[in-house]
Chain A
Amino acid sequence: MRTRTAKPRTTRWKTLVGLVLTALMLFPVYWMVNVSFTRDTDLRRTPPYWFPVHGTVEGYRAVLRQQLPYLGTSLFIGLGTVALTLVLAAPAGYSLAKLRPRGGGVLSFLLLIAQMIPGVVMAMGFYATYLKLGVLNTAGGLIVADSTIAVPFAVLVYTAFMSGIPNDLLQAATVDGAGRVRTFWSVVLPVSRNATITVALFTFLWAWSDFIFASTLDQGGARAPITLGIYHYIGNNNQQWNAIMATAVVAAIPATVLLVVAQRYIAAGITAGAVKD
């Protein structure tokens, strides 16, 4: 531990300030929850109720009635995007980190560049292509498009992580007679569990949150994802904000759950590539 620890009085003061700052930062989130429980008649009340005093779950009933299929679609697309991203990124990360393919540097460079392309541009290119192929409004099309948000990040995370695997470990496997595929499957992949969790988590969140691909490649189908559900909700009846906020609360559940159960992977993912390890 540190030689000089701060005095207990100072830390108590800091805890208090920290609580206030966090409360300020999270106020919009609280407000979203508060509005989601507000009765229709109280929505336009001034001043508003600061707590859901006459709380109602009417908003959530509306979500269950109208938004359930959207949630299902988002879940399916999220999981599909994770699967596609992992299948592409894990072997490539292994190769770039340990097998040193000729031209691997160019590939890494292209991946960095790929992360900088605005979603609007990709959406337009995909739209033109999908229209011709007739795969607009399909889950598969959306999975492929969503994966482009995650694949470059995923490969970079895997490469950075797998570079840290000791070569002795891989050699031991080779000496035992394992081929490269076996080594990858039964040594490299299990050891890279943390990288896989980080990648899967972010990929799922990004696919779940995607709006730009959903709104361009999946216009108004019955099986649209939840982000589009909210968007149409705002457009169609902008009076029922309790129902809109209830949908928003439900759409925020995956992020909240993942933050609670996997916080350290999230911090790892945000700093991946930004800070030298």
Chain B
Amino acid sequence: MRSTPPPAPPRRHGPAGRWRVQAAAWGFCAPLAAYLFLFYAYPLYRNLDLSLRDYTVRSFVQGGAPFSGLANYRKVTSDPTFLPALGHTVLFTVASIAVQFGFGMALAVFFHRHFRLSTILRALFLVPWLLPLIVSASTWSWMLNSESGVVNSVLHGLGIAGVHWLTSPGWSLASVTLANIWIGIPFNLVILHSGLQAIPADINEAAALDGATGWQVFRFITFPLLRPVSAITLLLGLIYTLKVFDIIWVMTRGGPSDSSTTFATWSYRLGFGNLLPAFGPGAAVGNLLILVALVLGLLYIRVQHRQDAA
């Protein structure tokens, strides 16, 4: 990852000495390696196995489910929920990230120059990101309640008809996206703000002295310099947002009638949401989600490498 100079060896190592160094190095890493194997690789393997067999509740407990190849994947991709869930996942993710990033960037620029109270206000902006997701989700549920929610009440006061935010198929996805945007803004703000701080102040000042307006400085100097940080922010946002489950599940359970179902909530519902669990298809949906995340993840690593090399 990061290139650090190797520690200068205190004395020359023979082959035996080099072996001792390696043994020590791995001794410190061994617990982590074992842990990754037991608690990452094995659950993932179990999940893959679930998706490739035809499980019933009984064979789930006792074992002996027959191998069924890609049958679960075929079942899932031909399910009427598949295309809507795919569409919702894309919409939810793209809308969340675009808006979060826009607000995050605007706020980062706003907080860039120090002003009275700026530090404490910036700290307060972190609160939504730090709250347990279930706390935020239940608060938004009540705020968006059709009859007694504060949002509809304000709309009424402005003479606008209220909306069934969480219980009408036309609005549910927008509502959970709104809550997710609220939670994600602080993350974007913090990363972009620290990116801004890393840009030497005299670059902007030189441009300002040359007569560039504030917007021109941002558009032609700050924003291009911030490109690597922006790329990382967007990619991390993408990876996080694809995984979002808690908010949607608590606010709408993916409903009404699948109108806010994403891959994450669909996978959960298949595996745990019904009285009769469908572990095979649930695992299959989960693995499709992993596949997307992995592609994005590799992209992230490439971008970061380029940034490290620069």
Contact = CB atoms under 8 A, between A and B. Distances in A.
Contacts of A95: 25-29
A258 B61 CA distance: 42
Contact of B29 (A12, A91, A121, A124): A91
A212 B133 CA distance: 11
B286 A120 contact: yes
Given A14-B115, A121-B286, A125-B42, A266 B126 contact: yes
Interface in A113-155: 113-129, 131, 144-145, 147-148, 151, 155
A222 interface: no
A11 B115 CA distance: 5
A105 to B, nearest CB: 8
Interface in A240-254: 241, 244-245, 248, 251-252
A65 interface: no
A35 interface: yes
A116 B25 contact: no
B192 to A, nearest CB: 9
Interface in B90-149: 107, 110-111, 113, 115-118, 121, 123-136, 138-143, 147-148
Contact of B116 (A15, A170, A275): A15
B225 to A, nearest CB: 13
Contacts of A28: 128, 136, 139-140, 143, 182
Given A88-B35, A118-B245, A167-B8, A128 B46 contact: yes
Interface stretch (B70-78, B164-172, B215-223, B229-237): B229-237
A44 to B, nearest CB: 4
Given A28-B139, A48-B148, A125-B42, A211 B115 contact: no
Contacts of A2: 201, 205
Interface string A68-109: 000000000000000000011101101111111110110111
A185 B124 CA distance: 36
Contact of B194 (A12, A184, A248, A267): A267
Given A110-B36, A128-B50, A131-B61, A211 B134 contact: yes
Output the residue of B117, B195, B300 with the most chain A CB within 10 A.
Answer: B117
A4 interface: yes
Given A6-B113, A104-B25, A124-B283, A29 B44 contact: no
A101 B29 contact: yes
A198 interface: no
Contacts of B107: 21
Contact of A160 (B2, B132, B286, B290): B2
Classify the secondary structure of B's interface with A: helix
B242 interface: yes
B173 interface: no
B52 interface: no
A160 B29 CA distance: 15
Interface in B1-21: 1-2, 4-8, 10, 21
Contacts of B239: 115-116
Interface string A43-65: 11111100000000000000000
Contacts of A234: 138, 141, 250
Contact of A46 (B21, B31, B148, B286): B148
A119 B44 CA distance: 11
A105 B33 CA distance: 13
Contacts of B130: 205, 255-256, 258-259, 266
B127 A259 contact: yes
A129 B46 contact: yes
A167 B208 CA distance: 42
Nearest to B310: A276
Interface in B181-229: 182, 185, 187, 190-191, 194-195, 198, 201, 205, 208, 228-229
A46 to B, nearest CB: 6
A216 interface: yes
A108 B128 CA distance: 30
13 contacts: A3-B205, A17-B110, A19-B117, A29-B128, A97-B4, A116-B296, A118-B286, A120-B286, A155-B32, A212-B245, A234-B250, A267-B194, A275-B195
3 closest Cβ contacts across the A-B interface?
Answer: A125-B43, A209-B132, A101-B25
